[in-house]
Structure 1
Amino acid sequence: MVATLGSGESGGSVYIMDLSGTIDSAMGSWTACRVASLDRTVWTADCSSDGTHAAFGMDHGAGLLDLETRGLSWLCRSKSDILSQKFVHSGNVVLCGLRNGSIAPVDVRQKRHNHPTGVPSASTARRTVPMLRSKHQGRWRNQADKDKCSRYISMSSAVCSLVTLSSDENYFLGSSMDGCIKLFDLRLIQKGGIQSYEGHVNSHTHLPLVVDPSETLLMSGGEDCTVRIWSIKTGELIFAQSVCDTPFTALCWPESSRDLCGSSLFDVNHSWGAWLGSRNGLFYMHGT
């Protein structure tokens, strides 16, 4: 799934690509199919683990898209932009990270408004979703929306990345644009972060977090162009190295060495390895 930000003249869109097929030899890429067009900026999007639903975060709210029926519905509305999102592994909850520093867990099983005023039917070819504002700025439009986003976790700055753990979906990691990274437990929301990870450098950039397949290591690249790896359990910084002169704004930890296209370069059984992307290019970084 791919989401586009949009521009001053048009809103963002959500696309899906089937990566199981062959690459179009003429285009040199997979074909993307647009499944939703919005009349607002799309800051983020995420797909459920079973591939049936997509959540998208915009200015003033979040929506849910049924990828099978193409039906659209609201998750919640908010005054602050939703900059990051993540489904928990079961797909029952979407975590929404807001510009104001809040993280809102939203239960997708709650009754939703499928066709708000101004939203065309699901059969419409171009599915445009206008975001509705509340009558009074800063207040929820109705009690249902308030209930869906009433349980908040607060971070010290805009939430730029969220990562859930499949081993226990009560736990998730969040990072904010002031360099703060914390581990949270959905069962202990009022307690705040239960583990912190020191050393990350950020001031305003949308930098991602990634965890390794065993969910023991956490990686992020900072604005200081340094890649850092922490122990998720202890919070200990176990690796820090500057490897590029521009920040890494895309990170991916392969599930296994077999995911690396079978290249002989990656046949060595490294202790760890990950893909890193920056304006300078795509890099593969590995341990011993």
Structure 2
Amino acid sequence: MKRSGRPSRGRYGRRNHQQNPLSGPCSSGERYTTGAAQSLGHGDEESPSTSSSSTGDPSVPDLPGFYYDPEKKRYFRLLPGHNNCNPLTKESIRHKEMESKRLQLLEEEDKQKKKIARVGFNASSFLRKSQLGFLNTTSYCRLAHELRVSCMERKKVQIQSSDPSALASDRFNLILADTNSERLFTVNDVKIGGSKYGIINLRGLKTPTLEVHMHENLYFTNRKVNSMCWASLNHSDSHILLCLLGLAETPGCVTLLPASLFVSSHPGTDRPGMLCSFRIPGAWSCAWCVNFQANNCFSTGLSRRVLLTDVVTGHRQSYGTNSDVLAQQFAVVTPLLFNGCRSGEIFAIDLRSPTQGKGWKATRLFHDSAVTSVKLLQKEQCLMASDMAGKIKLWDLRTTKCIREYEGHVNEYAYLPLHVHEEEGLLVAVGQDCYTRIWSLHDAQLLRTIPSPYPTSKADIPSVAFSSRLGGSRGAPGLLMAVRQDLYCFSYS
């Protein structure tokens, strides 16, 4: 009596000596040559759901359920990966291809001493056009900045600290430059668990040394930092506003930290003991108000609610929403607060309107996925927004229509911010694939794709800060990238 599941004899050879590659069991190390694959019959095809990855070579047939390795020139069977020590899965194949591409890009950057801009984009051509009157001063400056971005070189920054052991073990999670780009607020993941904060003084960020000093503080938390921004309470950038997500039974909170806590030898005008903390359930985002009609106020994006808090008086206003608010930014000229939601909706709150009623929603835009970042442009007629589907769109707030899209950004579920720099005419964003991409703000041209110095990982997505004056008013334009324990500077040549 024939057992079910045992492979039968056929044209592939004897049982237990040469198995049918589509019906018999196969380890991740078993191989099949191209000739053997071509001899397979149509009756052995599997469903499209188990189809192998495309090899990109038309001479190699696509074998359902198998993967062809172009380096080893043989087929490997795709396995589920549940009970195997070294399974070959679609995820592992994709990760291997991404890592190979990243290493190739890094090698090209290291070998290429002088970076080359895109074809037809060089200094001599548009300098000549400017001299002939075909380019105005604004257009010429913008093109010059774009050329420099494509020629930036990576250099490692030396960080000095009173605790060198912490620099070797703590990993960068988030970085945020202040208004003048003189300081860099950092959130570092501690090895023992939780996060701690620090401030890096960027005034020493000058070539060829590129040496900075980190001021640390014992203040730390076991909560995850969802959002943060600089706050101007006593003077410009006097505090840091942090939005912390709750864990288990511990509620989330919004914390206002004086920047002087991190400079013990120079207390400044802030009292180190002045610390404001508000416990709020489901805190996702925060923003500091820079409009004079709502002075000393900050907003918090909660689960289906927006909370506006006055730091001085303690007065609070609550606005109900239909979804979690993941991103926020205040307007400067008009008393509006723009919010991006998990549902994909973007709406503005008119701060002059009462919380009750329907009049407080001033503008409504819609994305197809959760909105993770919103950025107002200087004239406040346009809004930049990104979502968890990797879409980056520029919206005209007057017509409520999308006027430009920036292609290439990668995101599936991560909370990734946008960095808009109108002075340089640039848009910077880090994707979930750990690549930092820089676009031209005016024509959506992708100018530069920068690979991470480390392999792609969910825990190693770089955090970046771009400024036209790194280190202060006399500083040079450039990009700072923090990943793991390292800080890199991509300065203009």
Instruction: Verify same fold: TM over 0.5.
Output: yes
Post-superposition Cα deviations, 1:145-167, rounded to whole Å, max 9, x if no partner, equal x432374201121000111122x
CA drift of 1:287 comes to 3.5
Give the equivalent residue in structure 1 for 2:97.
none
Q: Which of the residues 433, 439, 444 maps onto 1:230?
A: 439
Give the equivalent residue in structure 2 for 1:69.
313
CA drift of 1:188 comes to 1.4
> Sequence identity, in percent?
27
Aligned-partner Cα distance in 2 for 1:78–1:164: 21
In 2 relative to 1, CA 161–249 (structure 1 residues): closer, same or farther, beyond 3 Å? farther
Pairwise CA RMSD of aligned residues?
2.7
Unpaired stretches in structure 1, ≥5 consecutive residues:
113-141
CA drift of 1:238 comes to 0.8
Q: Conserved in 2, the CA contact under 8 Å of 1:17 and 1:32?
A: no
Give the equivalent residue in structure 1 for 2:376.
164
Q: Conserved in 2, the CA contact under 8 Å of 1:217 and 1:230?
A: yes
Q: Which of the residues 9, 17, 40 maps onto 2:281?
A: 40
Aligned-partner Cα distance in 2 for 1:31–1:42: 25
CA drift of 1:22 comes to 6.2
Partner letter of residue 226 of structure 1? Answer: Y
Q: Conserved in 1, the CA contact under 8 Å of 2:433 and 2:461?
A: no
Partner letter of residue 287 of structure 1? Answer: Y
Aligned-partner Cα distance in 1 for 2:303–2:483: 26
Aligned-partner Cα distance in 1 for 2:343–2:275: 30
Q: Conserved in 1, the CA contact under 8 Å of 2:326 and 2:372?
A: yes
CA drift of 1:44 comes to 0.5
How many residues get paired? Answer: 242
Aligned-partner Cα distance in 1 for 2:290–2:412: 31
Task: Extract structure 1 runs of 4+ deviating beyond 4 A.
Answer: 30-34
CA drift of 1:175 comes to 0.3
2:266 maps to 1:23: no
Give the equivalent residue in structure 1 for 2:290.
49
Taking the TM superposition and a 5 Å limit, the aligned residue runs for 1:210-225 are 210-212=419-421, 214=423, 216-225=425-434
2:471 maps to 1:250: no
2:471 is paired with a residue whose SS is helix
Give the equivalent residue in structure 1 for 2:344.
101
Post-superposition Cα deviations, 1:220-278, rounded to whole Å, max 9, x if no partner, equal 01111111111111111111121233454533223513339x9xxxx6x4xx3122334
Q: Which of the residues 239, 244, 247 maps onto 1:7?
A: 247
Aligned-partner Cα distance in 1 for 2:462–2:317: 30
In 2 relative to 1, CA 91–31 (structure 1 residues): closer, same or farther, beyond 3 Å? farther
Aligned-partner Cα distance in 1 for 2:470–2:365: 36
Q: Which of the residues 156, 181, 190 maps onto 2:392?
A: 181
Aligned-partner Cα distance in 2 for 1:57–1:86: 10
In 2 relative to 1, CA 283–273 (structure 1 residues): closer, same or farther, beyond 3 Å? same
Q: Conserved in 2, the CA contact under 8 Å of 1:104 and 1:152?
A: yes
2:291 maps to 1:86: no
Give the equivalent residue in structure 1 for 2:417.
208
CA drift of 1:91 comes to 5.8
CA drift of 1:96 comes to 0.6
Q: Conserved in 2, the CA contact under 8 Å of 1:252 and 1:275?
A: yes
Give the equivalent residue in structure 1 for 2:480.
275
Q: Conserved in 1, the CA contact under 8 Å of 2:354 and 2:360?
A: no
Partner letter of residue 87 of structure 1? Answer: F
In 2 relative to 1, CA 248–212 (structure 1 residues): closer, same or farther, beyond 3 Å? farther
Q: Conserved in 1, the CA contact under 8 Å of 2:245 and 2:251?
A: yes
